[in-house]
Chains A and B, each alone.
Chain A
Amino acid sequence: MAKKNRLTVKPLKVKLFASAREIAGGKREIELEFAQKSVKIMDLKERILHIYPQMKCIPFIIAVNYRIVTDRQQNGNLGNTNPTTMHTTTITTDDEIALLPPISGG
C-alpha cells in the first residue's frame, strides 16, 4: 500500500500571561494547529478569539520574538526596534509568540 504523502506542520505555541492565562484555564502556553507553516498575526488572533471568546474583553496585543505587533504603524518603541504591523507580519513555529494583556507594572 502506498504511503499517504501527509504534510505535517508543527503547532504554533503561544505563551499566555495574567488574565489571558486564567481565561485559558491556567495554561501558560497553548498550541494552535494551522494547515500552513507561515501564519498571519491577524489569523492567529482570530483563532485565539474563536477558541477563547472571553478574550474579546481583553484588549490584548501579540509579541513576536519580544517585539510588539501593533494594529497600525506607530512610532513607539517597546523594545529595541519599532513595532511591526499585524497585517503584514507572519509567524512560524520558530518564532516565540506571546499574548500580552494590558500591562500594569510599577
Chain B
Amino acid sequence: MIDIIKKPIDISQIMKDCKDQSAGATVLFTGSVRDHNEKERVSGIYYEAYVEMAKNVLVAIENEVLRKWHVREFTAIHRIGSLKVKDISVAVAVTTEHRQDAFEACKYTIDNIKTRIPIWKKELSESGNATWKDGIVPFSKERNKSN
C-alpha cells in the first residue's frame, strides 16, 4: 500500500496491516520532524507534493522492491501539509519471511523516497524564518548546496 496523505500517519494501523502468518520479520522506518537543523531551532516543516506524480513514483518503487525481494506486505506513506516537531512525515514498513530482506527492502525504499519522490519541504524556524530546504536534483545525485 502506498499513499500521500494530509492526516497523521497511523503507525499502529500500519503494523496491523503488516501481519502475515508466513512472515517472520517486519521492519518499520519512520521519519519525523527534528527540532533543529545545522544552524537554528526548528518549529515545524511544511511539506508540499506533486501528488499524482509522487504516487506514480511510489508505485514504481514498490514494484522494484517486489521484484528484488520476497516481500509479503509493503507500506510506504508520506504525509504532506504543516507538521510540528516530532510529527511523523514518512513511514515505510516491509514484511518478509526473514529479517535481512526486510532490512534491505526498507532501506532501499526510504533511500529512493528521499531521492525520487517530488516532495518539497519548507522549514519553519523558531526565529520566524521560513525557507525551502535545499534538495536533490533527481538523476544527478547532486544536492543543491548542502542539506
Contacts and interface: CB of A to CB of B under 8 A. Distances in A.
A complexed with B: yes
Interface of A: 15, 17-19, 22, 58-59, 61, 63, 66, 68, 70, 74, 76-80, 83, 98, 100-106
Nearest to B58: A79
A79 B138 contact: no
Given A17-B50, A102-B135, A106-B31, A78 B57 contact: yes
- Majority-rule SS of B interface residues: mixed
A72 B144 CA distance: 18
Contacts of A100: 50, 118, 138
B88 to A, nearest CB: 11
Contact of B120 (A19, A70, A78): A19
Q: Is the interface of A mostly helix, strand, loop or mixed?
A: loop
Interface of B: 31, 47-50, 52-54, 56-57, 59-60, 78, 89-90, 110, 113-122, 132-140, 143-144, 147
Given A105-B78, A105-B120, A59 B144 contact: yes
A59 B53 contact: no
Nearest to B131: A19
Contacts of B78: 105-106
Given A63-B50, A66-B53, A103 B139 contact: no
B76 to A, nearest CB: 11
A101 to B, nearest CB: 6
Contact of A78 (B52, B89, B110, B138): B138
The 4 closest A-B CB pairs, nearest first, are A105-B119, A104-B135, A102-B135, A18-B120
Nearest to A100: B118
Contacts of B117: 103, 105
A106 B114 CA distance: 5
Contact of A104 (B53, B136, B140): B136
Given A19-B132, A79-B57, A103-B115, A68 B138 contact: yes
Given A15-B50, A68-B138, A102 B121 contact: no
A32 to B, nearest CB: 19
A17 B120 contact: yes
